[in-house]
Amino acid sequence: MLAPVLARLRRLPGIVDARVECSGTFFALSLAEPAESEVVLPMVLDVLGPDSRLLASEEARGQLEARPRGEIWFSEEQIRGLSYVEGRIIASRALAAAAEGLSLGEPETGRIREAVRVEVFTAIDRVHDEGGRCSSAWFAEEWPHIVARAQGRLAGALSEATLAVVAARLLRLY
């Protein structure tokens, strides 16, 4: 998740803004004092991980030149919004997998989608608020808990047999 990474970068002393381009590969940082870069750079590289590096001037210019033409370099807040879009996509995919071949009406499918979405959003919010994770693997580790909480939300809304099938299918997704 990029928003927590941006949040950690923004908390570093001397950084006034942190942005990431749409692939999540390149970060643009604004420093309060450019002369502070020698002090800030090791902390930035620590946040970004061992494979990160400072781009050479020409390479950096090449990455930034599309910005004035409209390429969006996302802020932390914008990335959180994108996480919610991803959460809705996950909920829709989960619904498709969970409901396949079951005789469910729109009220039941809507409840499943919403239960998963609420729990995915809750997990996303918690991770963002805690400052993120070093890897996106957190989601696979969290998924069984998301499913269990969604299952709790669905108790009484679906028959026990249907709920058991839905939960088992959801668990197989991640």
Task: Count other Cβ atoms within 10 Å, centred on residue 148.
Answer: 14
Q: How confident is the model at residue 116 (pLDDT cuts 50, 70, 90)?
A: very high
pLDDT at 133: 76
Averaged pLDDT, 49-53: 90
pLDDT for res 8:
84
Q: Please state, in angstroms and rounded to a whole number, the distance separating the CA atoms of residues 134 and 49.
A: 8
Split at pLDDT 50, 70, 90, the class of 1 is low
Q: How large is the C-alpha radius of gyration of the chain? A: 20
DSSP 98-116: HHTT----HHHHHHHHHHH
At 57-114, the pLDDT tens digits run 999 999 999 889 999 899 988 888 888 999 999 999 999 999 999 999 999 999 999 9
Q: Do the beta carbons of residue 9 and residue 29 sit within 8 Å?
A: yes
Mean pLDDT (whole number) for 5-31: 90
Burial 26-46 (b: 16+ CB within 10 A, else e): bbebebeeeeeeeebeebbee
Q: Is pLDDT above 80 for 9?
A: yes
pLDDT at 113: 96
Mean pLDDT of 134-152: 93
Tens of pLDDT along 159-172?
999 999 999 999 99
